[in-house]
A and B are shown apart, each in its own frame.
Chain A
Amino acid sequence: MAILKVEHLNKAFGGLLATCDVSYEMQTGELSAIIGPNGAGKSTFFNLLTGYHRADSGRVLFQGKNITNWPPHRISRLGIARAFQVSNIYLALTTYENVRQAILAQQKRTLNFFTPAHRLAKKETSELLEVAGLSRHANMIAGNLSQGDKKRLELAIALGSKPELLFLDEPTAGMSRDETHETMNLVKRLNQEMSLTILFTEHDMAVVFGYAKRLTVLHQGAIIAQGTPEEVRSNQTAQKIYLGEEA
């Protein structure tokens, strides 16, 4: 069964069709990407899938369950996490506290009023910081992290929710070349070793072709091409709209 199934999803902001009759499917264990120029509707698509925006029509099914227009916290509890394009972290808390917060929420311990938080989820938090390569910054205030580390923290927070399905909105935006590949290798490892289903958006073509097994090209809110990186590369429409603009 498909882990994610999207049927004829539509969303308009005023007169602007941000998502236009999008149908999409993902199998468990996939690592796929959505590409498209700025304003193609990539982020809106993620926002619709995670409950940030309400869809005008269409359905979103997660493991066969209709989650269309559920509020974000309920979608998150089902096992869908997301990392944002602009890192969306707790700037005044430490790196460690950022990650711990996600883990405590996942463990449903946030209604605990009387155990000091610093005694809880120690092992899980340290492990996750290790995975994300943030251990040495554990006690740093997140707002003081470098741009790349903020994005890594963003990813770590998303992983703290122990998702089965992970949406990454431009996970390497603002990263250096080395950082980009480091991060994408981490994403690949998560996909292979933890059998996490991952969908990410990206505008750096090298990143997309190097890692995603399946590409979907979005343009003006609609899907215009889909397939393996090679297929998309040779697709005329996709070339014209996306690759053409890049070149």
Chain B
Amino acid sequence: MIRYWWLGLVFIAMLLLPLFIGEFWVHVAIEILILGLFAVSFNMIFGYMGQLSFGHAAYFGVGAYATGLLLVKTSVPLPVALAVSMVTAGFFALVIGYFCVRLTGIYFAILTMAFGQMLYYIIFQWYSFTGGDNGLQGIAPPAWLMTASAYYYFTLFIVIAALIVMWFISESPFGYTMRSIRENADRTRFIGINVSQYMLINFVVAGMFAGLAGGLLGPFNRSIAPDLCNWHQSGVPVFMTVIGGPLGFFGPMIGSVIYTFLFAFVTGFTEYWPLTIGLVIVFVVLFMPGGVLGLAQSKFKTLGARDLRAGPQGPIDTET
């Protein structure tokens, strides 16, 4: 446990954060947490299972709409709505994943994206239920979460709880089975594991946490739009994970800090955000293929959390 001391420091810093920054940056911090949770859930599929889901926004969006609709049309308390978001997103991931886990590589990526776009168009067109392209307005958080810092603490609590659960999953026999499927699916079949069934379970769990992240977004923005489900949004966790590093558990979260902060900062004075993030990605891919976390882990071994893909020596990719 002692090697995770830095996590304690990060936690204390996050608790104190709203005392030192203005409301705008508290909003940015909330977004970092929500998108970070989204990206970590994406990495359960990408980093651990070794498949690129390019439709992960579908579950994020379904989660957002589940909570949004419940808060707008009923008087369900927010925590219940969030639980419904997880279950609903998990259900969609089950149905869609059932078809996707039969494929791997580029075909998996394309099929997840195709299903994601299907969901996007359904939400986009279904005016009577989802509000169509107008989105859903007036999603109010409960009275006790009206201020930015209250919502920040609420989000912090939920995201940390979710991260702890996902951390346990990643270190569990199930998590190691995911690594083994990524490393060698054939070998894994021959030790008695039903690979596609396990991939589906993982897909559903990842979808549920994406749904939770989505659920947190509506009450924060007070509104949601179908864009949350489309493939641009699916690219966000991909970018975050590439920047932060897919090989460590916290990589996508670090990626979210960099991506979301940069977005808030850069869009303050220029509209050339896509150019900026493009340059960042090019830089990361060329000069630190393991992402920020990969680089940090190869420099400071004490950061603990062993690399997913290699051992204490650091990522294989950067070694050779």
Contact = CB atoms under 8 A, between A and B. Distances in A.
Binding partners A and B:
yes
B25 to A, nearest CB: 36
Interface residues of B, number: 31
Interface stretch (A37-45, A76-84, A186-194): A76-84
B191, B309, B310, most chain A CB atoms within 10 A: B191
Contacts of A50: 190
Given A73-B192, A90-B183, A160-B191, A110 B177 contact: yes
Contacts of B172: 112-117
B180 A88 contact: no
B316 interface: yes
A31 to B, nearest CB: 21
B313 to A, nearest CB: 7
A73 B193 contact: yes
A114 B171 CA distance: 8
B189 A104 contact: no
Contacts, number: 109
Given A90-B179, A112-B172, A117-B172, A157 B311 contact: no
Interface in B146-176: 168-169, 171-176
A90 B173 contact: no
A101 B189 CA distance: 12
A88 B169 contact: no
With most chain A CB atoms within 10 A of its CB, the pick from B175, B176, B194, B310 is: B176
A150 B138 CA distance: 61
A105 B191 contact: yes
B198 interface: yes
A23 B308 CA distance: 45
Contacts of A183: none
A114 B168 contact: yes
B272 to A, nearest CB: 38
Contacts of B270: none
B311 A141 contact: yes
A111 B174 contact: yes
Given A101-B180, A141-B310, A89 B187 contact: yes
Contacts of B176: 93, 97, 100-101, 104, 110, 117
Interface pairs A-B: 3 shortest CB-CB: A76-B192, A90-B183, A72-B189
Interface of A: 50, 52, 71-74, 76-77, 81-82, 84, 88-94, 97, 100-102, 104-106, 109-118, 120, 139-141, 143, 157-158, 160-161
Given A77-B192, A116-B168, 17 more contacts: A50-B190, A74-B192, A88-B186, A94-B311, A100-B176, A102-B191, A104-B177, A110-B176, A110-B193, A112-B172, A113-B168, A114-B168, A116-B172, A120-B173, A141-B310, A141-B311, A143-B316
